[in-house]
Structure 1
């Protein structure tokens, strides 16, 4: 009997090029964020407020300078010259709202950046080295944790003095009480990451502590810090407005939304516009940051996938 001949194998076709997404956390997060309407709306609003803060003159189209006030025009309603009306001193509210965005946005972003960098660096050291380094940094952080944020900021600004209150002073008062939260978050993430196989392999190959922390642990432990810092951004903007409203934050002749609200509260029933518009912009800014923070948290948290 003759053996059955096997059918000839079909020629192997070259595989078509298929673009695949990287399996890293950051690429997956960016892929999800680009398709998240909450992120797109929130980031678009945040970008708009940042542009207003950076270039307020581009939006000051009514031709009235923010610091040019005329008592004869005090507490006027909406007109073609004053889109948001005027305040108690006859200053154009629209112009002041546009220029007031700069202080509020700068205080929020710089405070979030300072707390993220300081708390993240200390948390990285505490989590990696442990022992006495962890004990000292954790005990110092617990001391600051015992102080309520707003009350502590009030105390710091009261000691420094109202006349010295500026952007740098407010940032210092807010940051000095907020970094312990970032430290704890970074510390927990570093403790988890330093026991992973890739860290042990890098240590076995002779990598030093600095290289291990910066090249191997930090990229894999910084995600929760980014999430919390984004959410804290809105809290810092609100805190600056609260401190300015209480009279210990930003002082005239500087302009901030909180200071505008404080100056307009005494004549609110007679002229509500000078209070409503800065409060509206403040609320929209905080809302956009919260939306952005929630979207980033959902994208970077593996448990929510």
Structure 2
């Protein structure tokens, strides 16, 4: 028997309410940060590395020391500017933190002034080799043919010649061993690696679509190389050049130490190491301080170049 009991009518406010829905969970979607230019990405990557700041600070300090040595000398030691043989090989003290050299000169002042030739040769050789490498690599990679073949054979010959041995043989034949001669010899022996990098970059870019588009508009070879290929190919070569600065400074000091580089009365870390080799057991400060400055400079340049290379190449991050 059906139940005829009347059911209560729904309330008006119940009719106005929407149907019950499950609670909505709010999820936050993280929008990826847009990538900027290659330069900005590289700079952001470098700033995130504390070691880069330390190495850059050491390099900046050495550059300032080489450019204006007198303020550093006045700040760090009591140098009278005179050399007294009675002070020869005297050890470090409060007034003279690095002691005295063989001639009785304040050793801290001599070490600070010795930074200039090493840094000048390192930077001059790197810039000269970079310019030569960019020119030769651009021509060989863009034109190919006999130019590329000739350059490849020449670079093979230079790669088979050890850097220090080749520089020693050439410098022995030079009548002068000044800054100019050292720079020319080291440039002549230090261009091969950067040239190969530049050549490889140009070969990979010369058939790019934008180069073909520029050629179709009537652009000549010179315009194509300078305006379209060179700006996109030179960055890896500059990175290699930064790595090369420390190697050149180390090579220059080695040649000075062997007696075929700069000659007395010039000042350089290599010459100071050469003078100290017979006395370092009895007077270790003569060897210790120029070796520390040389090692810190070379290591800072190499680590800074490594960091720039890693930041530039995303595959190495």
Report the TM-score, using the length of structure 2 for normalisation. Answer: 0.85
What residue is the counterpart of 2:105 in the other structure?
Answer: 91
SS of match in other structure, 1:214: helix
Kept in 1: contact 2:279–2:286 (CA 8 A): no
Q: Give me the whole-angstrom Cα distance separating, in 1, the residues matched to 2:80 and 2:306.
A: 37
Match of 2:172 among 158, 169, 177: 158
Deviation string for 1:33-91 (max 9, x for gaps)? 2222222221121111100010111101124256x321100111112332100112212
Change (3 A) 1:264 1:65: farther
- Structure 1 regions of 5+ residues with no counterpart? 1-19
* Higher-RCO chain (CA-CA 8 Å, sequence separation at least 6): 1
CA deviations over 1:274-303 (Å, ceiling 9, x no partner): 110000000000111011101110111132
The structure 2 residue matched to 1:241, chosen from 234, 245, 253, is 253
* Alpha-carbon spacing, 1:21–1:251, altered in 2? closer, same or farther (3 Å): farther
- Counterpart of 1:53? 66
Give unmatched runs, 5+ long, in structure 2: 1-32
Counterpart-to-counterpart distance in 1, 2:312 and 2:242: 12
Alpha-carbon distance between aligned partners in 2 of 1:205 and 1:38, rounded to the nearest angstrom: 48
Counterpart check, 1:77 vs 2:100: no
Provide, for residues 119-154 of structure 1, a one-character-per-residue CA deviation record: whole Å limited to 9, x for no partner: 121001100111111112222222222211100000
Please provide the CA RMSD for this pair: 1.5
Q: Which residue matches 1:227?
A: 239
Distance 1:85 1:21, change over 3 A: farther
Any idea what the Cα deviations from partners look like across 1:168-207, whole Å, max 9, x if unmatched?
Answer: 1111121111111111110001101112111111111222
| Structure-to-structure mapping, 1:1-305, within 5 angstroms | 23-61=36-74, 62-64=77-79, 68-161=82-175, 164-305=176-317
| TM-score, normalization by structure 1 | 0.89
The answer (yes or no) to whether the contact 1:119–1:180 under 8 Å persists in 2 is yes
Equivalent-residue separation in structure 2 for 1:25 and 1:65 (angstroms) = 51
**1:251-270 alpha-carbon deviations (Å, 9 max, x no partner):** 11110000001001111111
The answer to whether the 8 A contact 2:89-2:101 is kept is yes
* Matched length: 283
Distance in 2 between the 1:78 and 1:199 partners? 63
Q: How many Å separate the matches in 2 of 1:178 and 1:223?
A: 18
